[in-house]
Structure 1
Amino acid sequence: MKNLIKSFTYQIKTSQREPKVLKIEHIDKTMTTSTIKRRRSANMTTSVEGVPFFSRSPSDSDNWIAYREDHINPFTHRLHINSHLAMIKIYILTVVLLPLRLIGCFLSLCCAWVFAKIGMLGLSEGQLNAKPLFGWRKRVQKISAFFMRMLYACGSFHYISYKGKCAAAKDAPILVVAPHSSYVDSIIVAATGPPAIVAKQETSNIPLLGKIITFAQPIYVQREDSNSRQNTVRTIVERARSEDDWSHVIIFAEGTCTNRKALIKFKPGAFYPGVPVQPVLLKYPNKYDTFTWTWDGPGALKLLWLTLSTFYNNCEIEYLPVYYPNEDEKADPFLYAENVRAVMARALGVPTSEYSFEDVVMMTRARSLNVPCSADIIEIERCLFHLDFLNSSRVLKLAGKYSSIQNRHKMDITRFSEFLNISTTNAHLHKLFASLDYKHTGAINLKTFFLSALFCIFKSSDTMEFLRAVSTLYASGNTDQLTREQFFAILKHCDKLSKKKLTTLYLRIEELKPGNRITFDDFENYTRNHEEYKFLFKKHEHIQMRLKK
């Protein structure tokens, strides 16, 4: 009983270090690479600023196994709980503790909402955005934040360890937080005061939580407003320069969740104002990582279940010295973002990555089209670029020979290099092979290569053009006629078409050609003239946005 009471004790450990002033005039650009290492090796060096980077040249002849082991994809996460005792404990706590925690979390949320409602009595939306809260409303805001902190305490986060000290909002109006790896990261909002967040306007409509967020005086973004970015930057600058006592603005600079093994490119939004920022690090020093919620990994509900079925979890918040931008950084938000990212990577002891938030859009599109290795499609695209294989005519010519290639379903690195006519000493070939060998068998299915390559080539095209390219992999000999099986195999790479819809579509086209097999042209002509299939001829707008960026 004593240990149980102790585990529920709410403790906050703080150190007394004052915030220091940090100003960096220049940071070596070589600290950011597309090849990221998990561990220090003989090829790893350190920049003058202490951030690890890698001097491996593309001509080095490392084998594909080494590349597979060394590469870090920040958007994947694997949770391994191999201990039977740990699983038994989780199942017991699921029955005994989890229901109580859910009740505690809900009651804490309700209490926070009640005080948020009280604090906003008599305030219009315009008044709430015009001036910071003060007097009794400010005290009520603190009480609301306390109940939000209790929500996390009920959810197993009894302890928060602090390092460094949060600077005053006048000294650093913006808190730049990284790495962003989980929905649990919002604990920093409850633990810091609360600060204001930058959120889409629709957030205010979330039951209970929306009112609590609004009470924290956030900066809402109107997505339909083309001037939204400029308005957000102007609001941040106005708050920073105001004589009023505004709270910090907190921004997760990565823009999406990663696995904390590397820092991806920061979005420049926090750096457009050109004001000083304070970097803040989030860490979870626990035995099992049941928090990391990435694009490719355990789902949110599973992670929530495992987190709530643990006796307690630790969280560490580290405030780094305030970063004051120089004139070059004020004029270039991307340079400012890169330099702050380098400082945070050094403090975390992790490398920086060429991956960015926009890459998730491409990975998601690849998965929706059933492209194998969608989690590694960005690395595959880079390898294809260096190998000069982002050429549609070259790849389509090879794809036309696919059905006649022997052992095409199981090809080792030697035969793969011969097929592509590329030397086995080429480092990018080894990287490509390692990415395509997602089953870790030492051999790849050549269809995996072609589907990945065709997606990278036609990612900016409409779905129909991609499907036409894919059809070359399923064609029989010199005929362009398709069997039902071939038709289904091709259309498997089209999102929004279920098996039932495909069957109906095939039968309708077949009715127009009695006694004959249909061709891909028949499929295209039929769908072009029917409104329900217009989506096949539209380019993916999110991919277009990524390409523009």
Structure 2
Amino acid sequence: MEIEYLPIYTPSKEERENPALFASNVRKLMAKALELPLIDLSFDDREISLSHGPLSIHDDSSLLQFHQLVCCLGLRAERTDSLLQVQVQRARDLQGERVNLQEVSTFLNLSITHTLTEVHSLFDQRGDGLIDIRLFVIALSTVHRPSQAMETLKLAFKMFESEDNGYVLEEDLAAILEIMLGVRELDLSGLFSALSGPETAKITYAELHHFIEQHPHFVQDYLDFENHPRKFSQTKNCNGLNHGKED
């Protein structure tokens, strides 16, 4: 370990009057000396990065970006469980109808700004200017309570499940988990093969909750997605030797 002592930093008059400015300038000097980039992360961001549990966030990059935009919109203080429930009901009432930027601003009671446009674009998967507002609510719940993923999953089922039997279709569950885990190209064939029930393309919250409780390594063992950790652990051991099957 190498320790470098930087010159004593004496705050200017402006910095003495503004401690946040003082801290920011010292931080920049430290980053420059370490040759490291500056990344603005809050305490809430830390909670997102360190989420745990069977549905812990796999890749936090997109959710951290979303969270910072949400904070810029002033929605941090409004992220309460009761408000989420209201948004869940309003999103469910849309019955999967995709909405444009103006409708999103109405849904959130916000003016259209550059930041809101950025948020909207994060969910514009088809590039047609329309988004599924249910996915926004799921992302909001995920960053609001990153260590309570099962509560977010229950909330998601309320928006996507059939009114008749409480089932969520496989493709909808894939979309839900992609948002919650921060992954892409999620494949649920492993999960539904393990369930091996009469219905292989849909599932209830109770069934999924029970399955996850029985399989604490649910994500690692039953899901597949781009850059899944399983894909990086099959080929080499600690000595760098390839132990995969030979062709």
Q: So what's the TM-score if we normalise by structure 1?
A: 0.29
CA-atom RMSD, angstroms? 4.8
- State yes or no: 1:178 paired with 2:31: yes
Contact 2:88 2:159 in 1 (8 A): yes
Query: CA offsets per residue over residues 495-547 of structure 1, 9 Å max, x none?
Result: 5985342222332xx26xx89x6421122123323454499xxxxxxxxxxxx
1:155-174 mapped onto 2 (5 Å cutoff): none
Q: Which residue of 1 aligns with 2:34?
A: 252
Contact (CA 8 Å) 2:56, 2:147: kept in 1 or not?
A: no
Task: Evaluate the alpha carbon distance shift between residue 532 and residue 22 of structure 1 in structure 2; reply closer, same or farther with a 3 A threshold.
Answer: closer
CA contact (8 A) 1:373 1:436 kept: no
Query: In the comparison of the two structures, how many residue pairs are matched?
Result: 199
Partner of 1:435: 119
Query: Which structure has more strand as a fraction of its residues?
Result: 1
Determine the structure 2 residue equivalent to 1:528.
213
Structure 1 371/451 Cα, relative in aligned 2: closer, same or farther at 3 Å? farther
Asked if the contact 1:400/1:473 (under 8 Å) is kept, the reply is yes
1:142-197 CA distances to partner (integer Å, 9 max, x unpaired)?
xxxxxxxxxxxxxxxxxxxxxxxxxxxxxxxxxx6424xxxxxxxxxxxxxxxxxx
Aligned to 2:105: 417
User: How far, CA to CA, are the matches of 1:32 and 1:434 in structure 2?
Assistant: 31
- Residue 168 of structure 2 aligns with which residue? 482
* Structure 2 equivalent of residue 395 of structure 1: 84
Residue equivalent to 1:458: 145
Question: For 2:137 and 2:165, how far apart are their aligned partners in 1?
Answer: 20
8 A Cα contact 1:417 1:424, kept in partner? yes
Q: Is the 8 A contact 1:410 1:444 kept in 2?
A: yes
Q: Output the amino acid matched with 1:454.
A: S
Residues 127-151 of structure 1: per-residue CA shift (max 9 Å, x gap)? xxxxxxxxxxxxxxxxxxxxxxxxx
The Cα offsets for residues 186-213 of structure 1, whole Å up to 9 and x where unpaired, read as xxxxxxxxxxxxxxxxxxxxxxxxxxxx
* Distance in 2 separating the partners of 1:384 and 1:362: 18
**Is it true that 1:449 corresponds to 2:128 in the alignment?**
no
Maintained 8 Å contact 2:92/2:134 = no
- Aligned partner of 2:195 in structure 1 is 506
Q: For structure 1, which runs of at least 5 residues remain unmatched after alignment?
A: 1-18, 35-50, 52-175, 180-250, 265-353, 536-549
Distance 2:128 2:23 in 1: 26
Structure 1 residue 400: Cα displacement: 3.2
Asked if the contact 1:433–1:444 (Cα under 8 Å) also holds between the matched residues in 2, the reply is no
Report the TM-score when normalising by structure 2: 0.56
Question: Do the aligned residues in 1 keep the contact of 2:135 with 2:179 (CA within 8 Å)?
Answer: no
| Alignment of structure 1 residues 171-320 onto 2, 5 Å | 177-179=30-32, 252=34, 257-258=36-37, 263-264=38-39
Identical columns (%): 16
Q: Give the unaligned 5+ runs of structure 2.
A: 1-5, 221-247
Distance 1:448 1:416 in 2: 12
Q: Is the 8 A contact 2:100 2:129 kept in 1?
A: yes
Sort the Cα spacing of 1:505 and 1:397 in 2 relative to 1 into closer, same or farther, 3 A: farther
- Residue 31 of structure 1, aligned match among 7, 21, 33: 21
- CA drift of 1:450 comes to 1.6
| Structure 2 contact 48–64 (Cα < 8 Å) conserved | no
- On the 8 A contact 2:142/2:180 being kept in 1, the answer is no
Give the counterpart letter for 1:458 in structure 2: R
User: 1:472 is matched with which residue?
Assistant: 158
- In structure 1, C-alpha distance between the alignment counterparts of 2:75 and 2:218, rounded to whole Å: 36
The answer on whether the counterparts of 2:138 and 2:156 sit within 8 Å (CA) in structure 1 is yes
